[in-house]
Amino acid sequence: MAGRACHVLRSTTRLSLTLALALLLRPRTSHVIAASLVLTGAIVFAAHLAFIAPSRSEHQADVDKIAAYRYEHVRGMTRCESYHTDTISRARRALRMAGIPDPGLIAVVTPTFHGAGVVAFTDSAIHVLRFSGDTGYTRPEAWFDMPEGPPVITPIAYEQANTILAPLIRHARYPSSAARRGHDGVVYLLDWAGECSYTWSPREGDGPSELIARMLDEIMASPASVEVLEGLSHDIANMERGIAR
């Protein structure tokens, strides 16, 4: 890079000196001033090309490496595939059959050795529907056939709803991680008005996906603690601020 910088600086300086001399040969004050301006501008421009532009390229390469690492290792949610959207459609149908108005945001939790759970979020309550069976050994079409009971409802204030829903909606809309799959575990799905994301069995320290899973686990163990949900929501926001730096 140093050789390129010197070459650019020498070439630009040579050109600027030629222009400056041509102006200086004309004995007028205005020409002297113009020559000085041309020379100064050319040197500044050459320095920019030689030193600043390459440093920006190197910085961008570093940013790309960080982004690639985060995509693989700092786990947010992953964009849904077609079979996930089929699950979301069936879950929304189950909510309607249970008398719950179709909300914008829902979550679906499907543990291999237990029945599915569906969570409907509104600005005044969290509705939870649990189903019998085990999703690992039941056809997906039958996951939502046998509710264990009526919906469990956790009332929330409007301000609390804003806090709790914000990271869930954000990660439903903007999935940011490479896919991870496995056989035995838990799939967590988020769907915001057709924008869907998921994560599979996030581990401790995985990133936002682990905290989202903890939020949904807390809700499925209802009645959920609204204070715990608010705390996890703040933790997600603080983690995202750290990741963005």
Segment 8-30, tens digit of pLDDT: 445 544 545 454 445 445 555 44
**126 and 42 co-located in one domain:** no
Interhelix angle 208-220/226-244, nearest 10 degrees: 170
- Predicted TM-score (pTM) of the model is 0.70
Last residue of a domain, one of 73, 105, 128: 73
Strands 152-155 and 186-192: unpaired
Q: What percent of the chain lies above the pLDDT cut of 70?
A: 68
CA separation for the pair 169, 173 (Å, rounded): 6
Helix and strand totals (H; E) in the chain = 7, 7
Q: Report pLDDT digits (tens) over 140-187.
A: 999 999 999 999 999 999 999 999 999 999 999 999 876 777 778 999
Q: Which domain, by its residues, includes 211?
A: 78-244
Instruction: Report residue 40's pLDDT band, with 50, 70 and 90 as the boundaries.
Output: low
Domain boundary among 40, 73, 106: 73
Tally of domains in the chain: 2
How many angstroms separate the CA atoms of 121 and 103, rounded? Answer: 6
**Residues 119, 42: one domain?**
no
Q: How many CA atoms lie within 13 A of 95 on its CB side?
A: 25
| pLDDT tier, 209 (very low <50, low <70, confident <90, very high otherwise) | very high
Domain match, 124 and 41 both: no
User: What is the residue type of 214?
Assistant: R
Residue in the structure block whose two tokens are 């189903």: 131
Tokens describing residue 195: 């924008």
Spatial CA neighbour of 104 closest among 196, 236, 200, 36: 196
What sign for the dihedral angle of Cα 7, 13, 16, 21? negative
| Average pLDDT value for residue range 99-115 | 94
- Same domain membership, residue 104 and residue 218: yes
Q: Are residues 94 and 125 in the same domain?
A: yes
